[in-house]
Amino acid sequence: MVKVVFLNLLRSKYGIEQLDAHPGSIHEVLEEIRVLHPEIDEKDFAEALVFVNQDRISHGNRFLHKVSDGDEVVFTHFLGGG
């Protein structure tokens, strides 16, 4: 299984800290999560960053990126304030 972690705003909004999902593309992982949690709005992921095993996945292709059994996927948003 793939460990999926929501951080910061996503965690605060949905109250979800961590979930397991089946391996596949990031898009497929998100779709699986949304079946379990239909309250999740896909628009909240429009600007989300994706990290797989602490590697930042290229923003343009992130939903196509494939994750495997044992991977950790983190969804979050960056901050820019000072």
Partner 1 sequence: MTNTTESFFQSNRGIMSETELEKVSQTRILLVGLGGLGGHLANSLTRLGIHSIVLVDDDRFSSSNLNRQLFSSTENLGEYKTDVVLRELKKINPDIELVAYHLPVQDIEVSVFDTVDLIIDAVDEIKTKLFLETMGKEHHKPLLHGAIGGWYGQMGISLPGSNLIHDFYGGAGKGLEKALGSPTFIPPIIANMMVAEMIKFLLGRSPNLANQMMMADLLNHEMRIVSKAR
Q: Which residues are at the interface with partner 1 (CB under 8 A)?
A: 5, 7-9, 11-12, 17, 47, 49, 51, 54-56, 58-60, 74, 76-82
Q: How far is the CB of 22 from partner 1 (least distance, A)?
A: 23
Nearer to partner 1, 38 or 81 (CB): 81
Q: How far is the CB of 19 from partner 1 (least distance, A)?
A: 15
* Tokens describing residue 18: 């961590």
Cα of first residue to Cα of last residue in the chain, in angstroms, is 38
Question: Contact 72/3 with Cβ under 8 angstroms?
Answer: yes
Cα–Cα distance measured from residue 27 to residue 15, given in angstroms and rounded to the nearest whole number = 21
Q: How far is the CB of 41 from partner 1 (least distance, A)?
A: 15
- Name 22's bridge partners: none
